[in-house]
Amino acid sequence: MKTVPLFLGLALCLQTSVNAAGIQPVGGHYPFGYDTIHSIEISKSLSSKKHKIRLYPDARQQVLFFSASGENGKVYQLYLFDVDGRLVSQTQIRNRETTVLTNISEGNYLFEVFTDDERIENGQVRVR
């Protein structure tokens, strides 16, 4: 299993995305209990060479971004499951788009990314 390094030097770009999603700090703190999360770790088991899938936290380790790039016109689906196999979150994006996943509680999760009914990436997410 390959562990993906998480770079925190993208704060300016990520802050713009967070603000665009409507999640803004109030008095130096994020709403909805975001301050209780200390880190988000992502490890991948399967990676596609044809599609570039990115799953990464913001600089404050409070939300999770999902982006994809590959062939024009492709649609990518992300499924996030808890360790008991229950679907926790599901989202889809088009090629070269990014979305934000919020309200992820502490715990361990499994993720799978599909395009055209083909699993192209999977792995684990740990929120502490």
* pTM for this prediction: 0.69
Reply yes or no on whether the pLDDT at 124 is more than 60: yes
Residue 59: give its domain's CATH number: 2.60.40
Average of per-residue pLDDT across 35-41: 73
- Residues 48 and 8: their CA atoms lie apart, in Å, by 24
Lowest-confidence region among 8-17, 49-58, 61-70, 95-104: 8-17
Q: How many CA atoms lie within 13 A of 107 on its CB side?
A: 13
- Residues 69 and 75: their CA atoms lie apart, in Å, by 10
Reply yes or no on whether the pLDDT at 9 is more than 50: no
Q: Tell me how many domains the chain contains.
A: 1
Q: Which residue has the higher pLDDT, 86 or 71?
A: 86
What is the domain range of residue 92? 2-127
- Residues 120 and 89: their CA atoms lie apart, in Å, by 18
Cβ atoms 64, 32 nearer than 8 A: no
Reply yes or no on whether the pLDDT at 77 is more than 70: yes
Q: Which residue has the higher pLDDT, 66 or 47?
A: 66
